[in-house]
Structure 1
Amino acid sequence: MRINYDFSDLEVFLAVKETGSFHQAAKRLNLSQSAVTRRIQKLEIALDSVLFERTTRAVKPTLAAKRLQSKAEAILEDAQETTIAMRDESVAFAHQRGAVITVAIVPTVVARLFVPAIQSFRNSGFETRIRLLDSSANEVAENVASGEADFGVCSIPTLEPSTEFTSIFDDKIVLALPASHVFAERDAIGWNELEGTTLILPARGTGNRLLIDDTMAQVRLSVIWSYEVNRSTTALELVEAGLGFALLPHSVFQSTVTKNVVTCELKAPKIIRPIGLLTRVGQSDTPAITALKDAILWAV
């Protein structure tokens, strides 16, 4: 069954019922008397019931009107409560979004970029809470593209047309090796010298691994890895235990304290991973998000 009346019709009905007058109801609702009459007629047609007996002296509610009154009041009260609740939730959501910044970031640049940036951000007077989604570059890109993060800091340039990448600095991939190894005294090591060594590589499909595989293909080097790990910190622990060499971003050594591990640069071709801000195209930032982005850009 189709309902052919709305909340405004019920409001007019209650005003006429309470005032006993079409004229007084019109004044209360700031409507013309003809508009009140039309709404009552519309309601009567929709309910197939006469609601008021009109005479030149008075407007008397019918039995149908008396039955409708409590139901109309309940309907309007419920609608009002729903409207208030929805508005409160919207305000709460807007406040929460403004009070929390979600940043997706690769863990290896937290010490170099994020720590000094957040210190500057706090010194500027911002007390906004910050949620860090520290994960791989692929996941950072996905979090930004999906809107899960307000922006990201990662090593993967734009993969989606909905995102854009702003470069901050270039991070070299270096060789981490035990301090006791004969190579530890070298300033640089050639790629061909890695043949026959025990290598610890990032997991396949990660941003760092893609860069490493591309370079190995370029120098026609076929190296068999012995260990494959997801986290740079795990690779360092293996190196520290003397289990092999790891190819890692230089920024890792600014965020992790290691014992008995040294780094050597790799001879040409060098591997450089670009670090930058990843944002959604057309996104409207709050002042706090803008300030945090600026602090990260100036933290280098």
Structure 2
Amino acid sequence: MRINFDFNDLEAFLAVMETASFHHAAERLSLSQSAITRRVQKLEETLGSALFERTTRAVKPTLAAKRLQARAEAMLESARETALAMRDESVAFAHQRGSLVTIAMIPTMVTPLLAPAVRKLREDGAVPRIRLLDRAANEVAEAVAQGDADFGICSIGSLEPNTEFEPLFEDSIVLTLRRDHHLAAAGTVAWPDLQDEPLILPARGTGNRLLIDEAMARSRLSAQWTYEVGRSSTAMDLVSEGIGVALLPRSAMYSAQGKTLAFRKLGDPDVSRPVGMLTRVGLAGNPLTEAFKKTFRDLSQSLSEI
């Protein structure tokens, strides 16, 4: 039989056994209920047996679950004892220097936040291994809530009760255009000036598009878009080729593409998105995770408006 589960799956199973509830197990482990369900299902698929009988009123362990409980407890305890036995000073130091952190992040934050944070930690002697989940804002929130990431950097607040959002800075929506475009000579561009421009907007349903649409509706403005795109990098490609002008987050200016383009403030209404750190409630990070969080907080103070 192929072993296709890990200690996290066993921990989720035991939490359900002890609380008799997927909901309470999720609260105990600071995970979403769907994440607990997936981990238990993975155990069930590997073992080929149902572990719980679920009804609308109760969660009852099956015979297979009762037989597994003692073994699962023994395996987790053995793993803890092994970890403690290995933690002399030299091994603990090496583990900290080469430890792994999984960060979910919207792509526009890679250049202004992640890259300088990595350089800073290397200067301090850390050798971080990073698993980067570069995704849309709602996917970042989902990855954090489900326990797939240690924490996230995104532009939407908490969508799940087991997560909390710490604002870092405001990221304005600005006009992105070629440096030889006639509007690049202006310090601030008025919304009516966009009426005759081939306008590139974020795709409908994205967080940035929602902010733009809401702000324009409040001010009774309208702008006829010509192109809708899903990624800021795609919009900047189109701008570079002279296809149109784009409404993008100011943070896009820090990317390699952005450094070749012009970014101009938009007049009233001012549109911005809050960029912040999303974490699971009650989750204590390892030293590397906490070092990244502190570095992100420090760096965010230097991200000034254009």
TM superposition score normalised by structure 1: 0.66
- Equivalent position of 2:152 in the other structure: 152
What fraction of aligned residue pairs are identical, expressed as a percent? 47
Aligned to 2:107: 107
Cross-structure match for 2:206: 206
- CA distance in 1 between counterparts of 2:80 and 2:145 reads 25
**Deviation for aligned residue 1:297:** 0.9
Q: Secondary structure at the match of 1:298?
A: helix
Q: Distance in 1 between matches of 2:221 and 2:172?
A: 19
1:118-129 equivalent positions in 2, closer than 5 A: 118-129=118-129
Give the C-alpha shift of residue 178 in structure 1: 2.5
Q: Structure 1: 5+ residue runs without aligned partners?
A: 1-79
Aligned-pair Cα RMSD in Å: 2.9
- One-letter amino acid of the structure 2 residue matched with residue 114 of structure 1: L
CA distance in 2, matches of 1:235, 1:253: 12
State the alpha-carbon separation in 1 of the partners of residues 139 and 283 from structure 2: 19
Of the structure 1 ranges 238-247 and 203-212, higher mean CA displacement relative to structure 2 is found in 203-212
1:252 Cα offset (Å): 0.6
Describe the shift of the 1:258–1:152 C-alpha distance in structure 2 as closer, same or farther (beyond 3 A): closer
Task: Confirm or deny: 8 A CA contact 1:200 1:227 kept in the other structure.
Answer: yes
> Runs of 5+ in structure 2 lacking a partner?
1-70, 84-91, 301-306
The equivalent of 1:228 in structure 2 is: 228
Maintained 8 Å contact 1:175/1:248:
yes
Q: 1:90 to 1:275 in 2, by over 3 A?
A: farther
**Distance verdict in 2 for CA 1:87–1:128, change over 3 Å:** farther
Q: Distance in 2 between matches of 1:259 and 1:169?
A: 21
C-alpha displacement of 1:84: 7.5
SS at match of 1:210: helix
Matched, 1:116 2:133: no
- Between the aligned partners of 1:176 and 1:214, the Cα distance in structure 2 is 20
> Larger Rg: 1 or 2?
1
Contact persistence 1:180–1:260 (CA under 8 A): no
* Distance (whole Å) between structure 2 residues aligned to residue 250 and residue 85 of structure 1: 47
- Secondary structure of the corresponding residue to residue 211 of structure 1: helix
Report how far residue 257 of structure 1 moved: 3.1
Of residues 157-166 and 141-150 in structure 1, the stretch that sits farther from structure 2 once superposed is: 157-166
Superimposed CA distance per residue, residues 25-57 of structure 1 (whole angstroms, 9 cap, x where no aligned partner): xxxxxxxxxxxxxxxxxxxxxxxxxxxxxxxxx
Q: Equivalent residue for 2:136?
A: 136
Whether the aligned pair in 2 keeps the contact of 1:202 and 1:208 (CA below 8 Å) is yes
Rounded Cα–Cα distance in structure 2 between residues aligned with 1:260 and 1:205: 28
CA distance in 2, matches of 1:124, 1:150: 21
> Displacement, 1:198?
1.2
Taking the TM superposition and a 5 Å limit, the aligned residue runs for 1:1-300 are: 87=78, 99-258=99-258, 261-300=261-300
CA distance in 2, matches of 1:104, 1:268: 32
Is the 1:199–1:245 Cα contact (8 Å) retained in structure 2? yes
Checking the alignment, whether the CA contact within 8 Å between 1:151 and 1:280 is kept in structure 2 is: yes
- Contact 1:176 1:239 (C-alpha < 8 Å) held by counterparts: yes
TM-score by length of 2: 0.65
Other-structure match for 1:6:
none
- Cα distance in 2, alignment partners of residues 89 and 149 from structure 1: 22
Contact map agreement 1:201 1:209 (CA 8 A) in 2: yes
The number of aligned residues is 219
Aligned-partner SS, 2:103: strand
Contact 1:117 1:295 in 2 (8 A): yes
Look up the equivalent residue of 1:288 and give its one-letter code.
Answer: L
